[in-house]
Structure 1
Amino acid sequence: MIGGGRLQGRRGLRRGDLTVAAIAQLAGVSPPTVSKVLHGRTGVGESTRKRVEELLREHGYRRPVPAGSARGLEVVFSNMLGFIAMEIMRGVEQVAATRQLGVGFTDVRSRVTAGLPWVEPLLQRQPVGVIAVVSEVTTEHRELFEARGVPLVALDPTGDVHPTPSVGSTSWSGALAATRHLLELGHRRIGLITGPAGFLATRARLDGFRAALDTAGVPFDERLLRSGPFLFEHGRDLGSQLLTLPDPPTAVVCGNDLQAFGVYEAARLLGLRIPDDLSVVGFDDIEHCEWVAPALTTVRQPFFEIGATAARIALALADGDRPSRPLVELGAALVVRDSTAPPRSA
């Protein structure tokens, strides 16, 4: 064991309790060298940096958060709708305020688009923890955060980020409830527009959709399935494809509300009325759902609670605790409004 005899008397410490001085002892370097690695500063050889980062990850080092610290939580977004981002931020801020911590906001979309790194500039601000609401979180990013002793929590990640803690909503049960609602109204030809095929939430919602059909004894028709980005124009184009089929659906479940608004437009262009000719269900419940006509039936995601839960996990990690569950899913609920009705043939 490397340095096995240097840390006598520390066996009772929890993972993450080792100090900078103890990490320096294990690495055979000075505490200022470890500090340079933690803060991303120059003046450290590459082999030494890697050795220190490996020890920091191995021992789960967490930077201490002194009382009255000016450091805070950082929330990282990329291409996020304003309403959703604000709700997440409100949840994070409510929890951070209990520790008298500030909350920073970072949008990395331009850096990601330009192929530039976004983790290092963030780490230079020495956050207490980072909540990532971006799809571009990778294993390499997680290792960078771990090596600097900064807890990372992912919100609704698009891929498997285990063992990084993550928080999201129950996409499977949300899609199940949306589809079951349409089935109970009498619909049998139900279209589905999902998000990008590789996203975890997309797969979960497709599974929930199919489970509702299976339970009702309704065959799944793959001709009524489309997938694409969570954007208005894709909802419009994919919706048009479904609505111009020889035997079109009488209802459509969408991957998010923007896609649903796109289906509204596709229906308008084809002279169809909602919900008389077509029922539509969205996913998210952004504020615009009550403003459109007819008001959109959708699945509400608890974005405020998601942000608050992620903040509590990040602060617990900063305190050296480990979450009891690596994945937390909060309940999504169907909100029935005016965009759904029985089909004409029912």
Structure 2
Amino acid sequence: MLVSAAYQPPPPCDSLSPERMEKRTCALCPEGHEWSVIYFAPSANIAAHENCLLYSSGLVECGPHDPRNPARSFAVKSVKKEIWRGRRLKCSLCNKGGATVGCDLSSCRKSYHYVCAKKDHAIPQVDEDLGTYKIFCPEHPPQQEETTERGNQYTLGFLFQPKKMKFSSFKRLMKEEPHGHKDAAVKAPFLKKCLEAGLLTELFEQILEKMDSIHGRFMDETASESDYEGIKTLLFDCGLFGDILRKFQEVIKSKTCEYEERLNQMKQKLEALADLQENLCSFQECGDLDPSGSTSGSLLPPEDHQCRCQESPEVQAGSGDSL
């Protein structure tokens, strides 16, 4: 993608501000086209369309939005975190990963790529003054549209609100559940009531976001001792992931066989290179390979080279007679 040279860089941030994505405009897109604006981070080699960033459910700007400033403030760290989050989210339309645009109804599990959301006729909700961008899937369209006095904001209601329990009851349940309780029979109703309140999906999303955050720190080698201890407790002490560990043993065996095969192939190549080096050394010792010889002479067969040397005086004499 070509990028327009008429680019104004964002104002420099102070040393305490996070690194931000830089705005670019595609030089080949029509002016003002929704796909023409992209943001990228040279340090992380990341690029994304503006709308893909704006409508991603887990991404917010790193500073207050100024309606007079068309440039957005996306922190590189936040964008990387959203990319990690999207790797486990499959699009409800194309079934591919990276679907970070979710239906804004908390009980709905639909996620899209931005372009797929448009194809599926999802409904956007935009507040230009606050800088908020939301998507509603076709199954959960907004009930009504009311324009506020500012003119740029639309307040949308829901057709469907699956709440079977009052929020006050849910708060009371949270207080009644002790954090250090060990009885699973007591905690099971808590999850069921989360489901009834339409909050179970949000609970698991927060759990997965926490896991994604820890995963990112492991990959960046910035994980703390508490991160290692937490993962150890999760995997080995609670017994919930016993089947995953059993399957992981097969992964270890498969990787071991793969690396052993690669090692054998490398050993064979090293042996071939050693034989080749030995042959070259033997040629030099026998005088078959003259490293100081000219390239042109070495390209001629020995008999052809001798014949040309014998004929050279006659050729010179003939050339003299012709003159």
Structure whose residues are more often helix by fraction: 2
Q: Which has the higher contact order (CA 8 A, sep 6+)?
A: 1
Q: Same fold (TM over 0.5)?
A: no
TM range (shorter): under 0.3
